[in-house]
Amino acid sequence: MKPNVAAAKAALPHLDLDTSEAAIRAKSRDFFWYSPVLKARLDHVMADFVVSPRSEAEVIEVLRTCYAHDVPVTTRGAGTGNYGQAMPLAGGCVMHLRHMTGVKEIGPGRVICEPGILLKDLDTATKAHSGQELRMFSSTWATATIGGFIAGGSGGVGSCTWGSLRDLGNIIRLRVVTMEAEPRVLDFRGEELPRVSHAYGTNGIITEIEMPLAPAYDWVEMFVACDDFMDAVRFAEDLANQDGILMKLGTVFEAPIAKDYFQRVAPHVEPDTNLVGLMIAPHSMEGFLTFLGRRSEARLIYRNDEDDWPRSPGPVFEYGWNHTTLRALKVDPSITYLQVRYGFPEHKALIEKMQTALSPEVLQHLEVLREGGRVIFAGLSLVKFTTEERLDEIVRMHEDAGAMIFNPHRYTLEEGGRQTVDDRQLRFKREADPKGLLNPGKMIAWDDPDWSYDRMYAYPKLQAAE
Protein backbone atom coordinates (compact mmCIF):
# COMPACT_ATOMS: atom_id res chain seq x y z
CA MET A 1 0.00 0.00 0.00
CA LYS A 2 2.78 2.42 -0.85
CA PRO A 3 1.30 5.53 -2.49
CA ASN A 4 2.06 5.85 -6.17
CA VAL A 5 1.91 9.63 -6.47
CA ALA A 6 3.36 9.73 -9.94
CA ALA A 7 0.70 7.39 -11.31
CA ALA A 8 -2.09 9.42 -9.68
CA LYS A 9 -0.78 12.68 -11.14
CA ALA A 10 -0.33 11.08 -14.54
CA ALA A 11 -3.98 9.98 -14.51
CA LEU A 12 -5.28 13.51 -13.82
CA PRO A 13 -3.60 15.79 -16.39
CA HIS A 14 -6.90 17.22 -17.64
CA LEU A 15 -7.73 18.58 -14.14
CA ASP A 16 -6.45 21.83 -12.61
CA LEU A 17 -3.22 20.44 -11.12
CA ASP A 18 -0.72 22.57 -9.25
CA THR A 19 2.80 21.18 -9.01
CA SER A 20 4.87 24.27 -8.28
CA GLU A 21 6.69 23.78 -5.01
CA ALA A 22 5.76 27.22 -3.65
CA ALA A 23 2.09 26.66 -4.32
CA ILE A 24 2.13 23.17 -2.82
CA ARG A 25 3.88 24.43 0.29
CA ALA A 26 1.36 27.26 0.71
CA LYS A 27 -1.63 24.97 0.19
CA SER A 28 -0.27 22.45 2.68
CA ARG A 29 -0.51 24.85 5.60
CA ASP A 30 -3.30 26.31 7.66
CA PHE A 31 -3.35 28.43 10.82
CA PHE A 32 -1.77 25.60 12.88
CA TRP A 33 1.00 28.06 13.84
CA TYR A 34 -1.33 29.74 16.40
CA SER A 35 -0.16 26.85 18.53
CA PRO A 36 3.55 26.72 19.43
CA VAL A 37 3.00 23.04 20.11
CA LEU A 38 1.77 22.32 16.58
CA LYS A 39 4.22 24.77 15.07
CA ALA A 40 7.06 22.67 16.49
CA ARG A 41 5.63 19.49 15.00
CA LEU A 42 3.96 20.32 11.69
CA ASP A 43 5.91 23.18 10.15
CA HIS A 44 7.57 20.95 7.53
CA VAL A 45 4.43 19.12 6.39
CA MET A 46 3.93 19.25 2.63
CA ALA A 47 1.77 17.51 0.03
CA ASP A 48 3.04 16.08 -3.23
CA PHE A 49 0.57 17.89 -5.45
CA VAL A 50 -2.53 20.06 -5.35
CA VAL A 51 -5.58 19.46 -7.50
CA SER A 52 -8.57 21.80 -7.75
CA PRO A 53 -11.64 19.98 -9.09
CA ARG A 54 -14.25 22.03 -10.89
CA SER A 55 -17.25 19.80 -10.13
CA GLU A 56 -18.49 16.85 -8.13
CA ALA A 57 -17.63 14.65 -11.11
CA GLU A 58 -14.02 15.79 -10.89
CA VAL A 59 -14.02 15.24 -7.10
CA ILE A 60 -15.11 11.68 -7.79
CA GLU A 61 -12.39 11.29 -10.37
CA VAL A 62 -9.72 12.51 -7.94
CA LEU A 63 -10.94 10.17 -5.21
CA ARG A 64 -11.20 7.17 -7.53
CA THR A 65 -7.75 7.77 -8.95
CA CYS A 66 -6.05 8.37 -5.60
CA TYR A 67 -7.79 5.29 -4.21
CA ALA A 68 -6.44 3.19 -7.05
CA HIS A 69 -2.93 4.43 -6.38
CA ASP A 70 -3.12 4.50 -2.56
CA VAL A 71 -2.51 8.25 -2.41
CA PRO A 72 -3.78 10.13 0.68
CA VAL A 73 -6.21 12.98 0.00
CA THR A 74 -6.52 15.97 2.31
CA THR A 75 -9.29 18.35 1.39
CA ARG A 76 -8.79 22.09 1.61
CA GLY A 77 -11.40 24.80 1.76
CA ALA A 78 -9.41 27.95 2.38
CA GLY A 79 -6.98 26.59 4.95
CA THR A 80 -7.97 28.94 7.77
CA GLY A 81 -8.39 26.13 10.30
CA ASN A 82 -6.33 26.17 13.47
CA TYR A 83 -5.52 22.59 14.32
CA GLY A 84 -3.55 21.62 11.27
CA GLN A 85 -6.92 20.23 10.20
CA ALA A 86 -6.22 20.78 6.53
CA MET A 87 -2.57 19.71 6.60
CA PRO A 88 -1.51 16.56 4.71
CA LEU A 89 0.38 14.82 7.50
CA ALA A 90 1.36 11.91 5.22
CA GLY A 91 1.83 13.98 2.06
CA GLY A 92 -0.03 12.93 -1.06
CA CYS A 93 -2.79 15.03 -2.63
CA VAL A 94 -4.31 18.25 -1.38
CA MET A 95 -7.72 18.58 -3.01
CA HIS A 96 -8.53 22.28 -3.07
CA LEU A 97 -12.20 23.14 -3.57
CA ARG A 98 -11.73 26.76 -4.63
CA HIS A 99 -13.53 26.27 -7.97
CA MET A 100 -16.64 24.74 -6.42
CA THR A 101 -18.40 27.96 -5.54
CA GLY A 102 -21.85 27.56 -7.07
CA VAL A 103 -25.05 28.69 -5.38
CA LYS A 104 -27.69 26.24 -6.61
CA GLU A 105 -30.94 27.30 -4.97
CA ILE A 106 -32.18 29.89 -2.50
CA GLY A 107 -35.60 29.74 -0.82
CA PRO A 108 -37.24 31.10 2.30
CA GLY A 109 -34.96 30.06 5.16
CA ARG A 110 -32.60 27.92 3.10
CA VAL A 111 -29.79 27.82 0.55
CA ILE A 112 -28.16 25.02 -1.42
CA CYS A 113 -24.56 25.58 -2.48
CA GLU A 114 -21.22 24.02 -3.27
CA PRO A 115 -18.62 23.68 -0.51
CA GLY A 116 -15.89 25.96 -1.84
CA ILE A 117 -17.78 29.25 -1.78
CA LEU A 118 -16.53 31.77 0.76
CA LEU A 119 -18.92 32.53 3.63
CA LYS A 120 -18.85 36.17 2.57
CA ASP A 121 -19.77 35.37 -1.05
CA LEU A 122 -22.57 33.07 0.08
CA ASP A 123 -24.02 35.80 2.29
CA THR A 124 -23.74 38.28 -0.58
CA ALA A 125 -25.72 35.94 -2.85
CA THR A 126 -28.50 35.17 -0.37
CA LYS A 127 -28.75 38.81 0.70
CA ALA A 128 -29.07 39.98 -2.91
CA HIS A 129 -31.62 37.25 -3.64
CA SER A 130 -33.98 37.74 -0.71
CA GLY A 131 -32.43 39.63 2.19
CA GLN A 132 -31.23 36.47 3.92
CA GLU A 133 -27.90 35.40 5.41
CA LEU A 134 -26.31 32.45 7.22
CA ARG A 135 -27.45 31.98 10.81
CA MET A 136 -23.83 31.85 11.94
CA PHE A 137 -20.40 32.29 10.46
CA SER A 138 -16.81 31.83 11.47
CA SER A 139 -15.11 35.15 12.12
CA THR A 140 -13.00 34.22 9.08
CA TRP A 141 -16.14 35.11 7.08
CA ALA A 142 -14.11 37.04 4.52
CA THR A 143 -11.65 34.22 3.78
CA ALA A 144 -13.10 30.84 4.79
CA THR A 145 -15.36 28.44 2.87
CA ILE A 146 -18.70 27.06 3.95
CA GLY A 147 -17.42 23.50 3.45
CA GLY A 148 -14.42 24.13 5.69
CA PHE A 149 -16.66 25.75 8.28
CA ILE A 150 -18.89 22.68 8.42
CA ALA A 151 -16.08 20.10 8.24
CA GLY A 152 -13.70 21.96 10.54
CA GLY A 153 -15.51 24.69 12.45
CA SER A 154 -17.91 24.72 15.35
CA GLY A 155 -19.86 27.95 15.39
CA GLY A 156 -19.24 31.64 15.57
CA VAL A 157 -20.92 34.94 14.93
CA GLY A 158 -24.62 34.13 15.37
CA SER A 159 -24.10 31.27 17.85
CA CYS A 160 -25.26 33.55 20.67
CA THR A 161 -28.74 33.13 19.18
CA TRP A 162 -28.67 29.91 17.17
CA GLY A 163 -26.27 27.68 19.10
CA SER A 164 -23.54 25.66 17.41
CA LEU A 165 -23.26 24.06 14.00
CA ARG A 166 -23.77 20.64 15.59
CA ASP A 167 -27.17 21.58 17.03
CA LEU A 168 -30.22 20.08 15.35
CA GLY A 169 -31.45 22.31 12.56
CA ASN A 170 -28.25 24.27 11.92
CA ILE A 171 -27.31 22.09 8.95
CA ILE A 172 -30.13 20.73 6.80
CA ARG A 173 -28.43 18.37 4.37
CA LEU A 174 -24.95 17.36 3.22
CA ARG A 175 -24.08 15.52 0.03
CA VAL A 176 -21.01 13.40 0.53
CA VAL A 177 -18.65 11.50 -1.78
CA THR A 178 -16.84 8.43 -0.43
CA MET A 179 -13.29 7.27 -1.24
CA GLU A 180 -13.73 3.77 -2.59
CA ALA A 181 -12.82 1.91 -5.76
CA GLU A 182 -16.04 3.38 -7.08
CA PRO A 183 -16.91 6.44 -4.95
CA ARG A 184 -20.54 6.70 -3.89
CA VAL A 185 -22.57 9.88 -3.54
CA LEU A 186 -24.76 9.99 -0.43
CA ASP A 187 -27.28 12.49 0.92
CA PHE A 188 -27.17 12.95 4.70
CA ARG A 189 -29.80 14.49 6.95
CA GLY A 190 -30.78 14.37 10.60
CA GLU A 191 -28.91 11.75 12.58
CA GLU A 192 -26.58 11.11 9.65
CA LEU A 193 -25.12 14.64 9.63
CA PRO A 194 -22.68 14.16 12.56
CA ARG A 195 -20.92 11.43 10.60
CA VAL A 196 -19.23 14.03 8.43
CA SER A 197 -19.79 17.46 10.01
CA HIS A 198 -16.72 18.43 12.03
CA ALA A 199 -14.96 15.27 10.82
CA TYR A 200 -12.09 17.15 9.09
CA GLY A 201 -12.86 15.39 5.82
CA THR A 202 -11.58 12.10 7.25
CA ASN A 203 -14.48 10.01 6.01
CA GLY A 204 -16.05 11.69 3.01
CA ILE A 205 -15.95 14.84 0.93
CA ILE A 206 -18.86 17.27 1.15
CA THR A 207 -19.87 18.36 -2.33
CA GLU A 208 -23.23 20.01 -1.70
CA ILE A 209 -24.60 21.77 1.34
CA GLU A 210 -28.09 22.83 2.37
CA MET A 211 -28.08 25.38 5.17
CA PRO A 212 -30.81 27.27 7.03
CA LEU A 213 -30.88 31.04 6.59
CA ALA A 214 -31.94 33.90 8.84
CA PRO A 215 -33.00 37.37 7.80
CA ALA A 216 -30.09 39.66 6.91
CA TYR A 217 -29.96 42.99 8.74
CA ASP A 218 -27.54 45.90 8.80
CA TRP A 219 -26.29 44.82 12.20
CA VAL A 220 -25.26 47.65 14.47
CA GLU A 221 -21.75 46.86 15.69
CA MET A 222 -20.69 48.32 19.01
CA PHE A 223 -18.12 48.41 21.77
CA VAL A 224 -19.22 48.83 25.37
CA ALA A 225 -16.70 49.49 28.17
CA CYS A 226 -16.86 48.34 31.81
CA ASP A 227 -14.38 48.96 34.59
CA ASP A 228 -15.12 45.66 36.28
CA PHE A 229 -14.56 42.38 34.45
CA MET A 230 -17.48 40.48 35.97
CA ASP A 231 -19.75 43.46 35.24
CA ALA A 232 -18.83 43.03 31.59
CA VAL A 233 -19.61 39.31 31.78
CA ARG A 234 -22.98 39.95 33.41
CA PHE A 235 -23.77 42.68 30.91
CA ALA A 236 -23.22 40.32 27.99
CA GLU A 237 -25.14 37.48 29.59
CA ASP A 238 -28.11 39.58 30.67
CA LEU A 239 -28.32 41.19 27.26
CA ALA A 240 -28.30 37.79 25.58
CA ASN A 241 -31.15 36.77 27.89
CA GLN A 242 -33.32 39.61 26.60
CA ASP A 243 -35.69 37.62 24.42
CA GLY A 244 -36.88 40.64 22.45
CA ILE A 245 -33.43 41.98 21.53
CA LEU A 246 -32.00 40.27 18.47
CA MET A 247 -28.27 39.78 18.75
CA LYS A 248 -25.60 38.29 16.51
CA LEU A 249 -22.48 38.74 18.61
CA GLY A 250 -21.59 39.18 22.28
CA THR A 251 -17.89 39.07 23.11
CA VAL A 252 -16.15 39.94 26.38
CA PHE A 253 -12.48 40.95 26.54
CA GLU A 254 -10.77 41.14 29.90
CA ALA A 255 -8.53 44.16 30.46
CA PRO A 256 -5.97 44.94 29.13
CA ILE A 257 -6.77 43.02 25.90
CA ALA A 258 -8.38 46.06 24.31
CA LYS A 259 -5.63 48.47 25.29
CA ASP A 260 -2.73 46.16 24.48
CA TYR A 261 -3.87 44.27 21.40
CA PHE A 262 -6.59 46.24 19.60
CA GLN A 263 -4.62 49.02 17.91
CA ARG A 264 -7.56 51.10 16.70
CA VAL A 265 -9.50 50.66 19.91
CA ALA A 266 -6.53 51.45 22.19
CA PRO A 267 -6.79 55.27 21.95
CA HIS A 268 -10.35 55.06 23.27
CA VAL A 269 -9.82 52.81 26.29
CA GLU A 270 -7.66 52.54 29.38
CA PRO A 271 -5.49 49.59 30.42
CA ASP A 272 -8.16 48.57 32.92
CA THR A 273 -11.04 48.74 30.44
CA ASN A 274 -12.95 45.50 29.99
CA LEU A 275 -14.59 45.56 26.60
CA VAL A 276 -17.80 44.04 25.21
CA GLY A 277 -18.17 43.68 21.45
CA LEU A 278 -21.74 43.51 20.11
CA MET A 279 -23.81 43.12 16.98
CA ILE A 280 -27.47 44.08 17.45
CA ALA A 281 -30.25 44.18 14.85
CA PRO A 282 -31.13 47.77 13.91
CA HIS A 283 -34.76 47.32 14.93
CA SER A 284 -33.56 46.12 18.35
CA MET A 285 -31.53 49.26 19.00
CA GLU A 286 -34.33 51.00 20.91
CA GLY A 287 -34.55 47.98 23.18
CA PHE A 288 -30.78 47.78 23.47
CA LEU A 289 -30.39 51.43 24.42
CA THR A 290 -33.11 51.00 27.05
CA PHE A 291 -31.22 48.02 28.45
CA LEU A 292 -27.96 50.00 28.38
CA GLY A 293 -29.61 52.90 30.20
CA ARG A 294 -30.24 50.59 33.15
CA ARG A 295 -26.57 49.66 33.48
CA SER A 296 -24.60 52.57 34.87
CA GLU A 297 -21.53 50.33 34.92
CA ALA A 298 -21.46 50.14 31.12
CA ARG A 299 -20.46 52.88 28.66
CA LEU A 300 -21.17 52.74 24.93
CA ILE A 301 -17.91 53.93 23.35
CA TYR A 302 -18.43 52.99 19.70
CA ARG A 303 -21.19 52.19 17.24
CA ASN A 304 -20.49 51.67 13.57
CA ASP A 305 -23.56 53.56 12.39
CA GLU A 306 -22.34 56.71 14.12
CA ASP A 307 -18.64 56.13 13.68
CA ASP A 308 -16.76 59.18 15.01
CA TRP A 309 -13.40 57.53 15.56
CA PRO A 310 -10.65 59.04 13.40
CA ARG A 311 -9.63 55.51 12.37
CA SER A 312 -12.52 53.12 11.99
CA PRO A 313 -11.95 49.83 13.82
CA GLY A 314 -13.47 47.76 10.99
CA PRO A 315 -15.99 44.98 11.61
CA VAL A 316 -16.44 44.32 15.31
CA PHE A 317 -16.75 40.57 14.69
CA GLU A 318 -13.16 40.61 13.46
CA TYR A 319 -12.17 41.28 17.07
CA GLY A 320 -14.09 38.27 18.32
CA TRP A 321 -13.86 34.49 18.08
CA ASN A 322 -10.39 33.50 16.94
CA HIS A 323 -9.60 36.94 15.60
CA THR A 324 -8.86 37.98 19.18
CA THR A 325 -5.95 35.54 19.25
CA LEU A 326 -4.76 36.77 15.86
CA ARG A 327 -4.68 40.38 17.03
CA ALA A 328 -2.87 39.49 20.24
CA LEU A 329 -0.35 37.32 18.39
CA LYS A 330 0.53 40.13 16.06
CA VAL A 331 1.52 42.32 19.01
CA ASP A 332 3.01 39.61 21.20
CA PRO A 333 4.15 36.47 19.32
CA SER A 334 4.38 34.53 22.58
CA ILE A 335 0.59 34.54 22.93
CA THR A 336 -1.44 31.44 22.19
CA TYR A 337 -4.91 30.35 23.28
CA LEU A 338 -7.21 27.75 24.77
CA GLN A 339 -10.80 26.85 24.01
CA VAL A 340 -12.97 26.48 27.09
CA ARG A 341 -16.60 25.63 27.69
CA TYR A 342 -18.11 27.38 30.71
CA GLY A 343 -21.37 25.45 31.07
CA PHE A 344 -24.70 26.36 32.66
CA PRO A 345 -25.37 27.02 35.49
CA GLU A 346 -21.81 27.32 36.86
CA HIS A 347 -20.49 29.41 33.97
CA LYS A 348 -20.02 32.72 35.75
CA ALA A 349 -18.54 31.19 38.87
CA LEU A 350 -16.10 29.17 36.77
CA ILE A 351 -15.07 32.19 34.74
CA GLU A 352 -14.42 34.21 37.85
CA LYS A 353 -12.46 31.35 39.37
CA MET A 354 -10.23 30.94 36.33
CA GLN A 355 -9.74 34.66 35.97
CA THR A 356 -8.76 35.04 39.61
CA ALA A 357 -6.40 32.08 39.48
CA LEU A 358 -4.67 32.79 36.17
CA SER A 359 -4.88 36.44 35.12
CA PRO A 360 -2.78 37.96 33.59
CA GLU A 361 -0.98 34.81 32.40
CA VAL A 362 -4.33 33.78 30.96
CA LEU A 363 -6.64 36.61 29.89
CA GLN A 364 -10.33 35.89 29.54
CA HIS A 365 -11.85 36.26 26.11
CA LEU A 366 -15.44 35.01 26.16
CA GLU A 367 -18.07 34.46 23.50
CA VAL A 368 -21.77 34.35 24.34
CA LEU A 369 -23.11 31.00 23.17
CA ARG A 370 -26.48 29.27 23.30
CA GLU A 371 -26.41 25.68 24.43
CA GLY A 372 -29.53 23.66 25.12
CA GLY A 373 -31.56 26.86 25.23
CA ARG A 374 -29.30 28.50 27.81
CA VAL A 375 -26.88 31.36 27.50
CA ILE A 376 -23.38 30.17 28.38
CA PHE A 377 -19.88 31.28 27.46
CA ALA A 378 -17.24 29.79 25.22
CA GLY A 379 -13.78 30.90 26.28
CA LEU A 380 -11.05 31.50 23.72
CA SER A 381 -8.63 32.51 26.45
CA LEU A 382 -5.38 34.23 25.55
CA VAL A 383 -2.44 32.38 27.06
CA LYS A 384 1.03 33.80 27.52
CA PHE A 385 3.00 30.74 26.39
CA THR A 386 6.10 29.65 28.29
CA THR A 387 6.46 25.86 28.06
CA GLU A 388 4.38 22.95 26.87
CA GLU A 389 4.38 21.64 30.43
CA ARG A 390 2.92 24.85 31.79
CA LEU A 391 0.32 24.88 29.02
CA ASP A 392 -0.72 21.34 29.96
CA GLU A 393 -0.89 22.41 33.60
CA ILE A 394 -3.22 25.29 32.70
CA VAL A 395 -5.40 22.85 30.77
CA ARG A 396 -5.53 20.58 33.81
CA MET A 397 -6.45 23.45 36.12
CA HIS A 398 -9.47 24.18 33.94
CA GLU A 399 -10.50 20.55 33.76
CA ASP A 400 -10.10 20.08 37.49
CA ALA A 401 -12.35 23.08 38.10
CA GLY A 402 -15.01 21.65 35.78
CA ALA A 403 -14.39 23.78 32.69
CA MET A 404 -14.16 21.56 29.64
CA ILE A 405 -11.19 22.20 27.32
CA PHE A 406 -11.18 21.69 23.55
CA ASN A 407 -7.45 21.62 23.13
CA PRO A 408 -6.27 23.60 20.09
CA HIS A 409 -2.73 22.32 20.53
CA ARG A 410 -3.54 18.93 19.12
CA TYR A 411 -4.15 17.87 15.53
CA THR A 412 -6.54 14.96 16.07
CA LEU A 413 -10.33 15.09 16.16
CA GLU A 414 -10.45 13.40 19.54
CA GLU A 415 -7.91 15.58 21.34
CA GLY A 416 -9.43 18.78 19.93
CA GLY A 417 -12.83 17.50 21.03
CA ARG A 418 -14.08 15.50 23.98
CA GLN A 419 -11.19 13.03 24.00
CA THR A 420 -13.43 10.16 23.08
CA VAL A 421 -14.00 8.27 19.89
CA ASP A 422 -16.96 9.49 17.89
CA ASP A 423 -18.47 6.15 16.94
CA ARG A 424 -20.61 7.58 14.19
CA GLN A 425 -17.59 9.07 12.47
CA LEU A 426 -15.47 5.97 12.95
CA ARG A 427 -18.14 3.62 11.67
CA PHE A 428 -18.74 5.75 8.62
CA LYS A 429 -15.01 5.94 7.94
CA ARG A 430 -14.84 2.15 7.84
CA GLU A 431 -17.49 2.20 5.16
CA ALA A 432 -16.48 5.28 3.19
CA ASP A 433 -12.69 5.22 3.39
CA PRO A 434 -11.69 1.56 3.69
CA LYS A 435 -8.04 2.26 2.85
CA GLY A 436 -7.82 5.10 5.40
CA LEU A 437 -6.61 7.60 2.82
CA LEU A 438 -8.77 10.60 3.73
CA ASN A 439 -6.86 13.19 5.77
CA PRO A 440 -4.77 10.54 7.53
CA GLY A 441 -3.51 10.98 11.07
CA LYS A 442 -6.49 13.01 12.29
CA MET A 443 -8.63 10.25 13.77
CA ILE A 444 -6.88 8.39 16.58
CA ALA A 445 -9.67 5.81 16.79
CA TRP A 446 -8.82 4.70 13.24
CA ASP A 447 -5.07 4.37 13.77
CA ASP A 448 -4.89 3.27 17.39
CA PRO A 449 -8.26 2.24 18.87
CA ASP A 450 -6.69 1.57 22.26
CA TRP A 451 -5.04 4.95 22.67
CA SER A 452 -5.22 6.06 26.31
CA TYR A 453 -5.03 9.87 25.95
CA ASP A 454 -2.39 10.04 28.67
CA ARG A 455 -0.13 12.17 26.45
CA MET A 456 -0.23 14.00 23.13
CA TYR A 457 -0.89 11.64 20.25
CA ALA A 458 1.86 11.47 17.62
CA TYR A 459 0.80 10.09 14.24
CA PRO A 460 3.32 7.37 13.40
CA LYS A 461 3.20 8.06 9.66
CA LEU A 462 3.71 11.82 10.03
CA GLN A 463 6.12 13.02 7.33
CA ALA A 464 9.63 13.21 8.71
CA ALA A 465 11.06 16.70 8.93
CA GLU A 466 14.05 17.13 6.59
Ligand X SMILES: Cc1cc2nc3c(=O)[nH]c(=O)nc-3n(C[C@H](O)[C@H](O)[C@H](O)COP(=O)(O)OP(=O)(O)OC[C@H]3O[C@@H](n4cnc5c(N)ncnc54)[C@H](O)[C@@H]3O)c2cc1C
Q: Where do contacts with ligand X occur on this chain (CB under 6 A)?
A: 30-31, 74-82, 85-86, 97, 115, 138-140, 144-145, 147-149, 151-156, 200-201, 205-206, 321-323, 326, 439
- Minimum CB distance to ligand X smaller for 235 or for 406: 406
* Shortest distance (Å) from residue 72 CB to ligand X: 11
385 binds, among its own copies, ligand X, none (CB under 5 to 8 A by kind): none
- Residue 355 contact, options ligand X, its own copies, none, Cβ 5-8 Å cut-off depending on partner type: none
Residue with Cβ nearer ligand X (88 or 292): 88
* Nearest residue to 206 via CA among 154, 159, 162, 171: 171
Give how far the C-alpha of residue 278 lies from the chain's centroid of Cα atoms, to the nearest Å. Answer: 19
Site residues, its own copies (CB under 8 A): 107-110, 130-132, 135, 161-163, 167-170, 172-173, 189-191, 212-218, 240-246, 281-284, 286-291, 293, 370-375
Tell me the closest approach of the beta carbon of residue 157 to ligand X, in angstroms.
7
Exposed e or buried b for every residue in 84-115, given b needs 16+ CB within 10 A? Answer: bbbbbbbbbbbbbbbebbebeebeeeebbbbb
In whole angstroms, how close is the CB of 77 to ligand X at the nearest point? 2
The answer to whether 169 touches 210, Cβ cutoff 8 Å, is no
Specify the residue, 182 or 243, whose C-beta has the smaller distance to its own copies: 243
Which one of ligand X, its own copies, none interacts with residue 200, CB within 5 to 8 A by kind? ligand X
State which residue, 113 or 205, has the beta carbon closest to ligand X. 205
- d(Cα 11, Cα 8) in Å, to the nearest integer? 5
Q: Strands of 138-285 (E only): list them.
A: 173-177, 185-188, 205-215, 220-226, 247-253, 274-280
Q: What is the dihedral of CA 318, 254, 166, 58, to 10 degrees?
A: 30
The residue among 200 and 302 lying less far from ligand X, judged by its C-beta, is: 200
- Euclidean distance between the first and the last CA atom of the chain, given in angstroms as a whole number: 23
Q: How far is the CB of 140 from ligand X (least distance, A)?
A: 4
**Residue nearer to ligand X on the CB measure, 302 or 337:** 337
Residue 167 binds: one of ligand X, its own copies, none (C-beta under 5 to 8 A by kind): its own copies
